[in-house]
Amino acid sequence: MKELIILEDNVQSFQEVCAKLVGKRATEDFDIELYHRVQDNNISSPIEQLFINAFECIRTINGFPENYCFTYNDTTEKVGTIIFPQFQIEKYRVDFLIYHTDPEMVRNGSKGNKVVVELDGHDFHDKNEKQRRYEKKRDRFLQNLGLKVFHYTGAEVVSNPFVPASEVLGCVTGEGPKSLLNVVTEYLED
């Protein structure tokens, strides 16, 4: 077994300074990326803005990369966990389509997991009977395509955006939503 190298106090202190600087840069990059994602996808709904921020935060701190290449059987596959806001599926637009695949899924021949997320704020959904019928018809259409459809009320998202985000990420990745949420709690306690 290899002997551990002990860092001198000054080296360890400097390493902590570097870690803080890298963390600050990562914070700025995350903030800029989410700002541009909201702008580029015209996400005007505050509950959708809260959800995408919470989802990307939980995805990132739990170590699910957004997109990377994986080579298997001389073929390069893109894998990762990706959120597509305002996504068009044939004649319907959904608030979010979330897609996840990983190397193990590729090896097993899986095409990955996809789920749809609809955030039902009173300003945008369930205004009248006609709108409710349209949404139910859309849900049946999406389910017939093999997609799971998650609906959350605006109140659920506003009260704690991490809860619906962890439930959706847990479903698409196969991880337990509580364990995903625990990482958020641990980071917030630091």
pLDDT band for position 107 (cuts 50, 70, 90): confident
Q: Do residue 68 and residue 138 come from a single domain? A: yes
Q: Do residue 59 and residue 73 come from a single domain? A: yes
Q: Do residue 105 and residue 20 come from a single domain? A: no
Q: Do residue 138 and residue 153 come from a single domain? A: yes
Residue 70's pLDDT is what? 77
pLDDT of residue 103 exceeding 90, the answer is no
Q: Do residue 25 and residue 80 come from a single domain? A: no
Q: Do residue 48 and residue 31 come from a single domain? A: no
Q: Which domain holds residue 146?
A: 44-189
Q: Do residue 25 and residue 97 come from a single domain? A: no
pLDDT band for position 110 (cuts 50, 70, 90): confident
Query: Nearest CA to 46 among 150, 149, 123, 126?
Result: 123
User: Rounded to whole angstroms, how far apart are CA atoms 188 and 165?
Assistant: 16
Sign of the torsion angle spanned by Cα atoms 37, 39, 43, 47: positive
Q: Do residue 66 and residue 24 come from a single domain? A: no
Indicate the average pLDDT of the chain: 90
pLDDT of residue 66 exceeding 70, the answer is yes
Q: Do residue 18 and residue 49 come from a single domain? A: no
CATH number of the domain at 53, please. Answer: 3.40.960.10
Q: Do residue 159 and residue 184 come from a single domain? A: yes
CA dist list (Å): 115 to 21, 52, 83? 36, 14, 10
pLDDT 10s digits, 155-190: 999 999 999 999 999 999 989 888 898 888 888 887
Assigned token pair, 178: 């509580």
Residue 106's pLDDT is what? 79
Residue 121's pLDDT is what? 77
User: Rounded to whole angstroms, how far apart are CA atoms 24 and 26?
Assistant: 5
Residue 67's pLDDT is what? 80
Q: Look at residue 1 and tell me if it is in a domain.
A: no
Assigned token pair, 122: 């009173």
Assigned token pair, 187: 């980071």
pLDDT of residue 99 exceeding 50, the answer is yes
Residue 127's pLDDT is what? 66
Q: Do residue 160 and residue 137 come from a single domain? A: yes
Q: How many domains does the chain have?
A: 2
